[in-house]
C-alpha cells in the first residue's frame, strides 16, 4: 500500500474523546476527522455536548480519554492561547471597557506582536468585517450585529488554523442571522480557513456547512453532507431531528427485485426500494419526507412515476397550514394513521388547493422512501 501523504491527513483528528462531569458523560467516546478548509457544523439538541467538545478543541477542557491531533500532533500539552485554534464565544465576551480596536488587538498584544504590526493587522480585520469608522467605539455603542463582527475580527486576528464558533448567530434576529450566515460563508471561503460551528439550528447548519455532525447524548449519530443527512438519514432519531418526516413502523414481509414490501402497523402495506446496504432486520421504520408525498383528488395519473409502483393512501384532509412557499396538509388516512404532505406553492393564488374535510389521495414512490432498521 502506498504511504499516506500529508495531504491525506485530516487537519484535525478527534480520537475516542470522552469527558465526564461527575458521573455524567457530556462527550462519550467521540471520533471525528476534519479536513483543511472545511466548514463543519456540530448540530444537536441542547445539552448534547457540542460546547464541551468545542472547549476541548480550544483547550479549555481536558479530555478524560482519547486524543486530539492537529496536523498529526497531539495537542494535549499545548496551552489554549498557544494553539492555532481560536474560539468565538456565544455571548461574544467582548471587553466592555475596551474600544473596538483594542478588543481586536487584545490577543495580538498578549502574543507580543509589535505595535506597527498590530496596527496593520487590526486595520485588515476591521476592513474584513466591515467595521470601518467604528474603531474607537465601545461595545455598548454597537448593535448586536456589529458586536458579532468585532468578536469575529478578534477571533480571526491571530490567523488561527481552525476557528471554533459557538452559536455565533444566536443573538441576532432572523433577517440579520440570514445575511450574516452568507457573510460567514463568504469569509470562510475567502480565507480558506477551517471553521467548526456549533448550532442547534438545523437550517443554519445546512445553509453554512459542507458537512454536518449530528450529536445526541455525547455521541455523533451521523456525519454527512447536508443533502445526505436529509435524504439518507442513518436512524429514526436523525430523520426526526433533521427536518420534518412521516414515519411508519412495520415488518418486511417480502422482497422482490430490490423492492421490499412492508406491512405497516395500521394494516396497510408500503413498497420501498431496497437501499444499497441490504436490510437485514424485519422490524423497520419507513421514513418519507412530506414534500415527497404528493396529493391529488383522484390519485396519480397512470404514468406518474414511470414504471414505478406507487404507494397510494386514501384519506381526508384534517388540517391545512399555509406557510408561504408551501402548504402542509395533514391527511387522516382511512387506516387511522396520519400523513403530512408539503405542497410547493408555485403559482400566485394557486387553485390546486385542498380544504379540511376534503377526500384526497396521498401517494409516493418506493425510491423516495428511506428504510431505517430498528
Q: Is 47 in the site for ligand ATP (CB under 6 A)?
A: yes
Torsion, Cα 67 205 39 239, to 10 degrees, reads 60
Cβ neighbours of 78 (radius 10 Å): 15
Among 11, 12, 26, 88, binds ligand ATP (CB under 6 A): 26
Among 12, 17, 39, 52, binds ligand ATP (CB under 6 A): 52
Among 46, 280, 307, 346, binds ligand ATP (CB under 6 A): 46
Rg (CA), the chain: 25
Q: Phi-psi category of 154—alpha, beta or left, where left has phi over 0 and alpha has psi -120 to 50?
A: alpha
Among 44, 63, 160, 226, binds ligand ATP (CB under 6 A): 44
d(CA 318, CA 80): 56
* Spatial CA neighbour of 257 closest among 311, 308, 310: 308
CB of 164: closest distance to ligand ATP in angstroms? 12
CB of 26: closest distance to ligand ATP in angstroms? 3
Q: Is 21 in the site for ligand ATP (CB under 6 A)?
A: yes
CB of 48: closest distance to ligand ATP in angstroms? 4
* Contact predicate 149/196, CB 8 Å: no
Among 40-48, 107-115, 171-179, 332-340, which window interacts with ligand ATP (CB under 6 A)? Answer: 40-48
Sheet holding 73-74, edge to edge: 24-34, 12-21, 65-70, 73-74
- Hey, which residues between 182 and 241 contact ligand ATP (CB under 6 A)? 200
By rule CB under 6 A, what count of residues binds ligand ATP? 11
**Proportion of the chain in helix, strand, coil states, percent, rounded to 5:** 25, 35, 40
Among 48-56, 234-242, 265-273, 336-344, which window interacts with ligand ATP (CB under 6 A)? Answer: 48-56
- Hey, which residues between 144 and 173 contact ligand ATP (CB under 6 A)? none
CB nearer ligand ATP, residue 52 or residue 311 = 52
CB nearer ligand ATP, residue 47 or residue 299 = 47
Among 5-13, 44-52, 325-333, 343-351, which window interacts with ligand ATP (CB under 6 A)? Answer: 44-52
d(CA 201, CA 221): 16
CB of 173: closest distance to ligand ATP in angstroms? 19
Convert residues 330-359 into a mask of x (bound to ligand ATP by CB under 6 A) and - (unbound).
Answer: ------------------------------
Who contacts 339 (Cβ-Cβ below 8 Å, separation ≥6)? Answer: 246, 288, 293, 313, 315, 330, 331, 333, 362
What's 90's DSSP letter? Answer: T
Cα-Cα end-to-end distance for the chain: 38
Q: Is 49 in the site for ligand ATP (CB under 6 A)?
A: yes
Torsion, Cα 154 157 159 164, to 10 degrees, reads 0
| Interacting residues with ligand ATP (CB under 6 A) | 21, 26, 44, 46-52, 200
Amino acid at each position: 500500500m502506498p504511504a499516506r501523504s500529508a495531504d491525506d491527513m485530516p487537519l484535525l483528528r478527534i480520537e475516542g474523546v470522552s469527558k465526564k462531569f461527575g458521573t455524567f458523560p457530556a462527550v462519550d467516546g467521540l471520533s471525528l476527522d476534519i479536513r483543511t478548509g472545511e466548514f463543519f457544523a456540530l448540530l444537536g439538541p441542547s445539552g448534547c455536548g457540542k460546547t464541551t467538545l468545542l472547549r476541548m478543541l480550544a483547550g479549555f477542557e481536558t479530555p478524560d480519554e482519547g486524543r486530539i491531533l492537529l496536523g498529526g500532533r497531539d495537542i494535549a500539552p499545548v496551552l489554549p492561547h498557544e494553539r492555532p485554534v481560536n474560539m468565538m464565544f456565544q455571548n461574544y465576551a467582548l471587553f466592555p471597557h475596551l474600544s473596538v480596536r483594542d478588543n481586536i488587538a487584545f490577543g495580538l498584544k498578549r502574543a507580543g506582536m509589535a505595535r506597527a504590526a498590530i496596527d496593520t493587522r487590526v486595520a485588515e480585520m476591521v476592513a474584513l468585517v466591515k467595521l470601518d469608522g467604528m474603531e474607537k467605539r465601545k461595545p455598548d455603542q454597537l448593535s448586536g450585529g456589529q458586536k458579532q463582527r468585532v468578536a469575529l475580527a478578534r477571533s480571526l486576528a491571530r490567523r488561527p488554523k481552525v476557528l471554533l464558533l459557538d452559536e455565533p448567530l444566536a443573538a441576532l434576529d432572523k433577517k440579520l442571522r440570514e445575511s450574516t450566515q452568507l457573510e460567514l460563508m463568504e469569509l470562510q471561503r475567502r480565507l480558506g480557513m477551517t471553521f467548526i460551528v456549533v448550532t442547534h439550528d438545523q437550517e443554519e447548519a445546512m445553509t453554512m456547512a459542507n458537512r454536518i455532525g449530528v450529536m445526541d447524548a455525547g455521541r455523533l449519530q451521523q456525519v454527512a453532507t447536508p443533502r445526505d443527512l436529509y435524504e439518507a438519514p442513518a436512524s429514526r432519531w436523525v430523520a426526526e431531528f433533521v427536518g420534518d418526516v412521516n414515519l411508519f413502523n412495520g415488518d418486511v414481509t417480502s422482497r422482490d427485485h430490490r423492492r421490499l414490501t412492508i406491512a405497516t402497523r395500521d394494516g396497510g402495506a408500503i413498497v420501498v426500494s431496497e437501499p444499497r446496504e441490504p436490510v437485514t432486520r424485519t422490524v423497520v421504520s419507513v421514513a418519507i419526507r412530506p414534500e415527497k408525498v404528493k396529493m391529488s383528488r383522484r390519485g396519480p395519473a397512470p404514468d406518474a412515476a414511470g414504471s414505478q409502483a406507487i404507494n397510494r393512501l386514501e384519506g381526508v384532509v384534517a388540517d391545512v397550514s399555509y406557510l408561504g412557499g408551501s402548504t402542509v396538509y395533514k391527511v387522516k388516512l382511512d387506516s387511522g394513521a396520519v400523513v403530512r404532505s408539503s405542497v410547493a406553492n408555485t403559482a400566485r393564488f394557486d387553485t390546486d388547493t385542498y380544504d379540511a374535510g376534503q377526500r384526497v389521495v396521498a401517494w409516493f414512490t418506493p425510491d423516495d422512501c428511506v428504510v431505517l432498521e430498528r
